[in-house]
Amino acid sequence: MMKITKLFDLYDHYNEKYFKNTLPFVDIVYADLKDAYGYTMTSTASDIVILLAKGMNKKDTITTLVHEMIHVKQAHYDQPMDHGKTFKAVAKKIAKKEGWKRKDI
Ligand SMILES: [Zn+2]
């Protein structure tokens, strides 16, 4: 599994590259997720945690992190946390720029 410190570096990198550094500080942890690669958890607006499934390869970990970052944006701006039109547009744009095949990242 990728080191959590590396994931924080990547979070900063993609935050700057695709979100103009507007995403808040979050915690990133590995978890036993049964039905998902990742999950963004919010208890309060200022307390956001990205959960990443254990055991993913590097590519899946990175694409999942970025997928969850779009949810972080939704949470941060009190938008519905869904995979609607806006989510898809952002995901598609990033996937295209990064050369990732999964359009939903
Ligand atoms: Zn999602």
pTM: 0.94
pLDDT in tens, the chain (105 residues): 999 999 999 999 999 999 999 999 999 999 999 899 999 998 765 689 999 999 999 999 999 999 999 999 999 998 999 999 999 999 999 999 999 987 778
CA of 28 to the centre of ligand 1 (A): 15
42 lies in which domain range? 4-98
CATH number at residue 52: 3.30.2010.10
Distance (Å, rounded) from C-alpha 43 to C-alpha 57? 28
Q: Is residue 105 part of a domain?
A: no
DSSP 54: T
- How many domains is the chain partitioned into structurally? 1
Entry field: residues in the chain: 105
CA of 80 to the centre of ligand 1 (A): 11
